[in-house]
């Protein structure tokens, strides 16, 4: 029991940390090539048919430069590749390599397992409700009025 309710941002941070640490620990235990949290996030926002660096940056909520550097690391690690975009010569598509595809499935399976473990502690319904509440489009941070 505590005097004041913990604030939501704090709770989000704790929850996120639990998943992230579980994921990285499982990957390490499986002997996978170590990836940083940032790289893991980049993997998560990358879609199957290829994405531009700018689009990745938007999804991650960081600048193009930051996304670029994260991509660079994963390209060097052999997980991603850059291919010219047939639609427009000014942009290049980022795609997973075969190895990257494998790692992506592995990470997805681990996250699913973690979610199951969470459902074991709070109910499955609670997990579904959690997901439903979080999937609201957050959009812009609200204006400070009133």
Partner DNA sequence: GAAGAATGTCAGGTAGCCTGACATGTAAGA
Partner DNA sequence: TCTTACATGTCAGGCTACCTGACATTCTTC
Residues that bind DNA (CB under 7 A): 36-39, 52-55, 60-66, 68-73, 82, 88-92
**Smallest distance from its own copies to CB 38, Å:** 11
User: Distance between CA atoms of 41 and 116, rounded to whole angstroms?
Assistant: 20
Q: Choosing among DNA, its own copies, none, which partner's interface includes residue 108 (Cβ < 5 to 8 Å by kind)? A: its own copies
**Do 103 and 33 touch, CB atoms closer than 8 A?**
yes
Query: From the CB of 66, what's the least distance to its own copies, in Å?
Result: 15
Site string for its own copies, 106-135 (x = CB under 8 A): --x--x--xx-x---xx---xx-xxxxxxx
The answer to whether 7 contacts its own copies (rule: CB under 8 A) is: yes
- The per-residue DSSP string of 96-107 comes to E-HHHHHHHHHH
String of contacts with its own copies for each residue 9-48, x by CB under 8 A? xxxxxxxxxxxxxxx-xx--xx----------x--xx--x
Task: Identify the helix (H) or strand (E) that includes residue 136.
Answer: none
Q: How far apart are CA 102 and CA 106, in angstroms?
A: 6
Smallest separation (angstroms) from its own copies to the CB of 44: 5
User: Within 13 Å, how many C-alpha atoms sit on residue 35's CB side?
Assistant: 31
Site for its own copies, residues 58 to 97, rule: CB under 8 A: 61
Cα separation, 35 vs 106, whole angstroms: 13
Cβ–Cβ < 8 Å for 61, 75: no
When CB distances are held under 5 to 8 angstroms depending on the partner's kind, the choice from its own copies, DNA, none that residue 126 binds is its own copies
């Amino acid at each position: 029991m505590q005097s004041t309710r913990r604030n939501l941002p704090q709770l989000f941070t704790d929850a996120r940390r639990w998943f992230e640490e579980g994921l990285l620990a499982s990957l390490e235990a499986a002997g996978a090539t170590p990836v940083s949290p940032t790289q893991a996030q980049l993997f998560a926002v990358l879609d199957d048919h290829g994405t531009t660096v700018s689009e990745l940056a938007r999804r991650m909520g960081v600048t193009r430069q930051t996304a670029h550097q994260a991509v660079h690391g994963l390209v060097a690690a052999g997980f991603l590749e850059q291919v010219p975009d047939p639609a427009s010569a000014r942009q290049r598509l980022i795609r997973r390599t075969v190895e990257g595809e494998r790692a992506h499935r592995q990470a997805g399976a681990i996250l699913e397992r973690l979610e199951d473990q969470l459902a074991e502690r709070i109910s499955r319904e609670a997990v579904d409700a959690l997901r439903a509440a979080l999937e609201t489009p957050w959009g812009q941070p609200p204006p400070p009025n009133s």
